[in-house]
Every structure is written in structure tokens, then in C-alpha cells.
Amino acid sequence: SGVFWGWAGTNSASATGGCEGGDVVLSCAGTAVDGLDDLHWLLTAERIGQPTPLTFVRGARRRQVTVIPAEGR
């Protein structure tokens, strides 16, 4: 399970961290995500500006990157 990442804006925290549209996010900050609600729950205001590990699958390859969440615009 995981969250299908449909789009990563050019200057978004996810794109800057290395995510691309089509990736499947498996975990955020070491906690498994089974759906978009889980991911939203983990990306709280306390994480804004804080390096946060994100694990995802692209194609058949598992990857881990660090993203720095920013406040939504």
C-alpha cells in the first residue's frame, strides 16, 4: 500500500526533495502511509521547515529522500 503521487510542482518541497509524479509514497518520517489521509496527518505544522525522510517507489526501485515541508500556498 501507499499513496500515489500524481504530481510534484516544480518548486514544491516534494519535487525539490526528489519526488516525481507517478511515485508511490510508502512512508513519511518513518511511519507507513496507507492513504492520503495518513500522509496529511503526518505533514503537520510542526514539520514545516524540518527535514523529513520520505520513502517511495519509482518503477521497481525503492528510494528514500529528505524533503523539507513548506506551508501550502
Report whether 70 contacts 23 (CB < 8 A).
no
Query: How much is the mean pLDDT over the chain?
Result: 84
Q: What is the distance between the alpha carbons of residues 44 and 7, in angstroms, rounded to a whole number?
A: 20
Question: Does the pLDDT value for residue 8 go beyond 90?
Answer: no
At residue 32 the predicted structure's pLDDT band, cuts being 50, 70 and 90, is very high
Question: Does the pLDDT value for residue 22 go beyond 70?
Answer: yes
**More reliable by pLDDT, 4 or 12:** 4
Q: pTM of the prediction?
A: 0.79
For residues 33-51, give the mean pLDDT: 89
